[in-house]
Amino acid sequence: MNFSSGARVIRVLAIRTPSQSVRISAARSIQSGVPKALSTRSVSSLQFAAAAALNKSPISAPSFLNSNAPSRTLHSSAPSLSSASESSATTAGTGESASETNSSSGTSSASAQGASNSEEDVGKIKKSLAERDKQVAELQDAYRRLLADMENLRNRTAKEKAAASTYAIQKFASDLLESVDVLKIALNSVPEDARKTSEPLENLYTGVTMTRVELLKALKRHGVEEFDPIGEKFDPLFHQALFQAESEDMEPGKISAVMKTGWMLNDRVLRPASVGVVKEKS
């Protein structure tokens, strides 16, 4: 038999033979390559094995397979080989089915476990993100509160600085007010007739008056000003009532007399005016 017949027999064994050992042998023969020249004995062996494996029509066994036995048909040996091949195929199929079942069950369990792990990971990530969002919200709220506190502190510091600059002379000006009052009392104590008859007294009066005027100008440059509330309505924020008296010319609640004038330092009361207030008639 030629080369192509031998190769065809080997391929039949590799494809259609249910016996795993024969398939493996044929596959290895195909992989290693069929020899260029096959002997008649090799080809006859291949034909016999193929006929026995495929359970085809009986063929005569070659004489070289059994030199002592006479030539006979293979009716009895072929079925036994076929039965063995079918048993091997059944066993192999059962093993493969069990293997596939185990593989599919393992894959299913692995898939279920993977899905469960994935859901747990997603839950952990969501929980972590929620905690981080909460922390971020708390930090943002604390940051906004800190900014508000800093802004309030900045404004309060600016106001205190301005107030310190504006009212820095408050105590000094309060001490000077008594001197201003004394100068006024001194000027009011000199009668006008006496000033006209005595030139030295007139000069003294003029000097004291100029001193008081210059002192008032100096105080005004620093925001200290005098106010006289005569005839105004009594206001406890600016006035200090020393007495009450009835009056025919003024309404009740009006200021009828000023004992000491009041003083203001910018928009703040430096000293309230000491006054007398008109009371209602009994």
Tell me: the pLDDT tens digits for 192-228? 888 888 888 999 999 999 999 999 999 999 899 999 9
pLDDT at position 90 over 80: no
- pLDDT, mean over the chain: 73
Per-residue model confidence as pLDDT tens digits over 100-142: 555 555 566 666 676 677 888 888 898 889 999 999 999 999 9
What is residue 103's predicted lDDT score, i.e. its pLDDT? 53
Of the spans 20-24, 52-56, 273-277, which averages the highest pLDDT? Answer: 273-277
pLDDT at position 59 over 50: no
90-94, 108-112, 159-163, 177-181: segment of lowest average pLDDT? 90-94
Stated pTM of the model: 0.47
Given pLDDT bands bounded at 50, 70 and 90, which one contains residue 163? Answer: confident
Query: Who has greater pLDDT, 9 or 251?
Result: 251
Residue 278's nearest CA partner among 250, 258, 239, 259 is: 250
